[in-house]
Amino acid sequence: MNMIRENDIQAFETYLYLNEKSRATTVKYIRAVRRLTEFLQDEELTKRRLLEYRELLMGQMKAQTVNGVLSALHAFLDFLGLQDCKVKFLKVQRQAFVDESRELSEAEYKRLLLAAEAKGNERLYLLMMTICGTGIRVGELPYITVEAVRSGRAEIRMKGKNRTIILQKELCRKLLQYAKEQSIESGHIFRTRSGNPLDRSNICHDMKKLCAEAKVDASKVFPHNLRHLFARTFYAVEKNLAHLADVLGHSRIETTRIYVAVSAAAHERILNRMGLVI
């Protein structure tokens, strides 16, 4: 019988670690498996039950999110050798435009920087500037080391891929000055008082604290939106999607397209310029 046991989940977690999946990916996959286990309630895992689970998810979340859950579960099924239980992903048509109410603008980003500076939180100020100025993921912050800043290049190793990030001279100057003030002589610059890398949930929490003073909707203030702002700004300067995909570390250019989709307002302006509605 295809029952999901605790030792299967633990073995899968070890498998993900040995295959060098990021910590965030591992947590996401294990969470998806445990939620499926709760749904099954000690029943056998079958394709029929997984189809029912997909139907349940469709009523709770967006199609892209459902596919993310299915991707995690498929990895687990592959690990168990239960490929016959896999179900199809939902078909999602790429939107021609995005909802600008979810995107952080350049003006809002700068107000967040000013708010962090006003609160005397230099670490958060520089952290936001580093993500938005390089396009790195929040999980890649540990690669911003004193050594990397001195060389002007950070070597990022994530998800089994390596890429080099250029650090602008002014950003390097600011980061080295901060490291000197904090007596950080080597290793990652963004750290806790005990020297550990910053946790993404704490970073997000600290960013949310700036919203009231910066007059920015809290729903759009989180680290990954800084990466999106970098992508949109980069693409506005150099309309080279393949180059941007390399900078961001995307293996699929379709992922990069999502980052640079125009806003609904910009899409409407294009329609108005066409002059076909008279």
CATH number of the domain within which 17 lies: 1.10.150.130
pLDDT tier at 21 (50, 70, 90 boundaries)? Answer: confident
Residues 139 and 77 in one domain: no
pLDDT tier at 263 (50, 70, 90 boundaries)? Answer: low
**Structural domain that includes position 117:** 103-250
Residues 240 and 126 in one domain: yes
Quote the pLDDT of residue 264.
62
Quote the pLDDT of residue 64.
86
pLDDT tier at 2 (50, 70, 90 boundaries)? Answer: confident
Average pLDDT of the segment spanning 217-221: 94
Residues 79 and 137 in one domain: no
pLDDT tier at 253 (50, 70, 90 boundaries)? Answer: confident
Residues 118 and 231 in one domain: yes
Average pLDDT, the chain: 91
Please report whether residue 277 resides in a domain.
no
User: Which residue has better confidence, 203 or 268?
Assistant: 203
Average pLDDT of the segment spanning 79-92: 93
- Give the CATH number for residue 126: 1.10.443.10
Please report whether residue 263 resides in a domain.
no
Residues 128 and 58 in one domain: no
pLDDT above 90: residue 178: yes
Please report whether residue 1 resides in a domain.
no
Give CA–CA dist 143/187, Å, rounded: 8
Quote the pLDDT of residue 97.
64
Residues 146 and 233 in one domain: yes
Residues 73 and 126 in one domain: no
Span of 42-46, 152-156, 274-278 with lowest mean pLDDT: 274-278
Please report whether residue 267 resides in a domain.
no
Residues 25 and 140 in one domain: no
Residues 119 and 244 in one domain: yes
Q: Which residue has the tokens 């004193």?
A: 146
Residues 70 and 131 in one domain: no
Q: Residues for the chain: how many in total?
A: 278
Give CA–CA dist 199/123, Å, rounded: 13
For the full predicted model, state whether its pTM sits above 0.75. Answer: no
Average pLDDT of the segment spanning 26-52: 94
pLDDT tier at 161 (50, 70, 90 boundaries)? Answer: confident
Do residues 192 and 198 make contact, with C-beta atoms less than 8 angstroms apart?
yes
Please report whether residue 255 resides in a domain.
no
Number of domains in the chain: 2
- The separation between CA 95 and the C-alpha centre of its own chain, rounded to angstroms, equals 19
| Torsion angle (degrees, nearest 10) of CA 176, 249, 202, 31 | -160
Please report whether residue 273 resides in a domain.
no
Residues 63 and 138 in one domain: no
